[in-house]
Amino acid sequence: MTDFVWLVIAFPLAGAVLLHFLGRRLGEPLAGIIGTLAAAAAFVVAFVAALPFIVEEGNHGETVMLWEWMPAIGANLEITWDPLAAVMALIVTGVGSLIHLFSVGYMHGDERFARFFTYLNLFLASMLTLVLGGNFAMVFLGWELVGLCSYLLISFWYTKPSAAAAGKKAFVVNRIGDFGFMVGLMLVFTNFGTLAFDGIFERVPEILDGSTATAIGLLFLVGAAGKSAQIPLYVWLPDAMEGPTPVSALIHAATMVTAGVYLVARSATIFAAGDAGIVVAVVGALTALWAASIAIAQSDIKRVLAYSTVSQLGYMFIAVGLGGYIAGIFHLMTHAFFKALLFLGSGSVIHGMHEEQDMNKMGGLLEKMPVTGVTMGIATLAIAGIPPLAGFWSKDEILGVAFEYGGVGIVLWVIGLVTALITAFYMTRQWFMVFTGEPRWEEGVDPHESPRSMTVPLIVLAVLSVGAGFLNTPFRLTLEHFLEPSFELVKVAHPPEGLGMFALLAAISVGAGIAGAAMAGFVYSRPREIWERFQGGFGGLWEAWQAAYRVDDLYGATIVTPGRKLSERMAFDFDAGGIDGFVNGVGRAVRSAGARTRVLQTGLVRNYGVGFVAGLLAVVIWLVIAGGGV
């Protein structure tokens, strides 16, 4: 029995409430420790609650009803505790706990130290509501709450104008996605009459026809693209790096941005009933390649990782779009480990370099920051897909799924391979630029290794980045068996059968990865002039990548500026002239009518009397004439 699973949400929520009211009094570092303990407690509860799935083969899990809120529409406080939810909860709380711990060191000395942990705990509670919710109403609640937390944390240093603007941008772009999600939910409700998972997924084949399922899927894709930063709504994520680095690691790399992937996986039956899946996969593939190419030329250490995140999320979308839900979740998990590690590593670097984020002003840091350097190196190899690290297994499974799909899948597979090569290139480039070569530090900067509370999470995550891949190798499909009960209703896509095929595909992708890494290593381990000659070889293309294809300018010119113009016209011309004019016109008409008729109100009783008598007489005469006698 897993009735106690609500504690998973309750612990971080209680932490948030406690820190909100007492945080300032608790001070540093006690507030951070309490926040970390709340996250860790949630992890422990989630782990205990997940044990039955490991022990029992084919355990479906259960729905735990906490409180009947609006039973008529299936919107109750209930938790669906199944293997998928368990995996998500473990990732969120596990990585979350480590990042909380890291933050205790990273946020040292910040005057809103306690408030930061309030937000982090609130975020955990929200994200867990999203992934554990047993109906779409709770998912939507969590969906909006994580958006709120994301906004609060991006603009945590709100006195910095760029941070405030980035928070606003994230909020607005996410709203566009939320709108699609909400319309999708309405469509679900009109078709099923409920929002509860129990009443939806099992009845999909009998209720939804193909086109409706496609429509719902596409609307969900809009929502997922907003939250998970896919084309065309990815623009908020790179700007979100204005927030503190642990926030980037937790929210904008490991957990919140995977909400879209989770949504698609959770709604697998709906996607399987229509044709929206292939659109998801194509969007994912395009995003993967697009973002990876931008990442090549970035010089800000966090922006590289931001575009890398967008690109890796694209991989997950390929997987879940083609029906490889388990492959997608698997990559979601390994990515959470190594991308959190990369972000925390970059945070450690930024911390050691006195808030410097430009990689052109780093170099040679390996000696000064050995732990950070080595762990980040491991993460780089993991994301580059070098066996036997975690990224290799999960990325290969996705590529295998795409290959097995055939047709369009082959195209996606090629795109994935190219992206893998680019990924290996830019990650290796980053590592060499930061950790090797001549020091290019600005004067007065004295790099130093970070304190223990920051390096311990790095080491733990490094171990996970190495080992997590073995959870689901083609030789031993542990995660697959674990997750299978959650996907019983759909046909899950798999990589091609057979060891030979696996070896062939693995060889190709590893080749691509090694090629990319080697190219970057060859160029960026040498002096700066060599890089510049190399970069100059790309001509205008490099500048386009550096400027992120000027997508922000494009959006600004096509959407933001016309929107602002329209708003101004509405506000100053239509509203002030039209609406107000009409209302004022009515007022003026009444007033002028009053000015004309006021002369009748003489205030003289006898004047009124004349009118009164005249009316009386008129009635009497009318009665005499028309009434036929008095």
Name the one range near other proteins by CB under 8 A: 91-99, 277-285, 546-554, 602-610.
602-610
Residue from 25, 540, 603, 626 touching other proteins (CB under 8 A): that is: 603
Name the one range near other proteins by CB under 8 A: 177-185, 188-196, 452-460, 609-617.
609-617
Name the one range near other proteins by CB under 8 A: 82-90, 145-153, 210-218, 598-606.
598-606
Residue from 109, 443, 491, 598 touching other proteins (CB under 8 A): that is: 598
The answer to whether residue 604 forms part of the interface with other proteins (CB under 8 A) is: yes
Number of residues engaging other proteins in binding (CB under 8 A): 21
State in angstroms the smallest separation of the CB of 606 from other proteins.
6
The answer to whether residue 592 forms part of the interface with other proteins (CB under 8 A) is: no
Residue from 411, 504, 583, 624 touching other proteins (CB under 8 A): that is: 624
Q: How far apart are CA 172 and CA 151, in angstroms?
A: 10
Map residues 375-414 to x or -, x wherever contact with other proteins holds by CB under 8 A.
----------------------------------------
The answer to whether residue 596 forms part of the interface with other proteins (CB under 8 A) is: no
Place of tokens 């990876």: 292
State in angstroms the smallest separation of the CB of 561 from other proteins.
53
Burial 113-130 (b: 16+ CB within 10 A, else e): bbbbbbbbbbbbbbbbbb
Name the one range near other proteins by CB under 8 A: 184-192, 402-410, 463-471, 612-620.
612-620
Tokens of 385: 């897909």
State in angstroms the smallest separation of the CB of 613 from other proteins.
6
The answer to whether residue 614 forms part of the interface with other proteins (CB under 8 A) is: yes
Residue from 602, 619, 622, 626 touching other proteins (CB under 8 A): that is: 602
| Bridge partners for 70 per DSSP | 75
1 vs 599 by CB, closer to other proteins: 599
State in angstroms the smallest separation of the CB of 610 from other proteins.
5
What does the H/E/C string look like for 422-440? HHHHHHHHHHHHHHCCCCC
Q: How far apart are CA 68 and CA 437, in angstroms?
A: 62
583 vs 620 by CB, closer to other proteins: 620
Select from 360, 356, 516 the least CA-distant residue to 434.
Answer: 360
The answer to whether residue 554 forms part of the interface with other proteins (CB under 8 A) is: no
Q: Contact at 8 Å (CB) between 513 and 384? A: yes
Q: Report CA torsion sign: 262, 268, 270, 274.
A: positive
The answer to whether residue 620 forms part of the interface with other proteins (CB under 8 A) is: yes
The answer to whether residue 617 forms part of the interface with other proteins (CB under 8 A) is: yes
567 vs 601 by CB, closer to other proteins: 601
Name the one range near other proteins by CB under 8 A: 46-54, 192-200, 533-541, 613-621.
613-621
State in angstroms the smallest separation of the CB of 598 from other proteins.
4
Q: Contact at 8 Å (CB) between 75 and 133? A: no
Name the one range near other proteins by CB under 8 A: 141-149, 189-197, 556-564, 592-600.
592-600
The answer to whether residue 491 forms part of the interface with other proteins (CB under 8 A) is: no
Amino acid identity of residue 283, one-letter, is V
Q: Contact at 8 Å (CB) between 201 and 489? A: yes
Place of tokens 């299978």: 484
159 vs 597 by CB, closer to other proteins: 597
Name the one range near other proteins by CB under 8 A: 101-109, 125-133, 445-453, 620-628.
620-628
The answer to whether residue 587 forms part of the interface with other proteins (CB under 8 A) is: no
Chain residues 251-290 in contact with other proteins, contact rule CB under 8 A: none
The answer to whether residue 610 forms part of the interface with other proteins (CB under 8 A) is: yes
Amino acid identity of residue 513, one-letter, is G
Q: How far apart are CA 301 and CA 314, in angstroms?
A: 20
Tokens of 192: 């099923």
Select from 136, 262, 137, 274 the least CA-distant residue to 205.
Answer: 274
Q: Contact at 8 Å (CB) between 36 and 104? A: yes
537 vs 629 by CB, closer to other proteins: 629
The answer to whether residue 623 forms part of the interface with other proteins (CB under 8 A) is: no
Select from 400, 82, 118 the least CA-distant residue to 262.
Answer: 82
State in angstroms the smallest separation of the CB of 584 from other proteins.
23
Amino acid identity of residue 461, one-letter, is L
| Bridge partners for 65 per DSSP | 78
Q: How far apart are CA 543 and CA 519, in angstroms?
A: 20
Residue from 1, 55, 72, 599 touching other proteins (CB under 8 A): that is: 599
Q: Contact at 8 Å (CB) between 153 and 119? A: yes
Residue from 210, 609, 619, 622 touching other proteins (CB under 8 A): that is: 609
Amino acid identity of residue 535, one-letter, is Q
**Cα diameter, the chain:** 121
Name the one range near other proteins by CB under 8 A: 165-173, 399-407, 503-511, 595-603.
595-603
Name the one range near other proteins by CB under 8 A: 180-188, 384-392, 436-444, 616-624.
616-624
Select from 82, 92, 483, 49 the least CA-distant residue to 259.
Answer: 92
578 vs 609 by CB, closer to other proteins: 609
Q: How far apart are CA 49 and CA 19, in angstroms?
A: 26
DSSP string, 354-411: TS--BGGG----TTT-HHHHHHHHHHHHHHHT-TTSHHHHHHHHHHHHHHHH-THHHH
Select from 118, 92, 133 the least CA-distant residue to 5.
Answer: 133
Give residues in contact with other proteins (CB under 8 A): 597-607, 609-610, 613-614, 617, 620-621, 624, 629-630
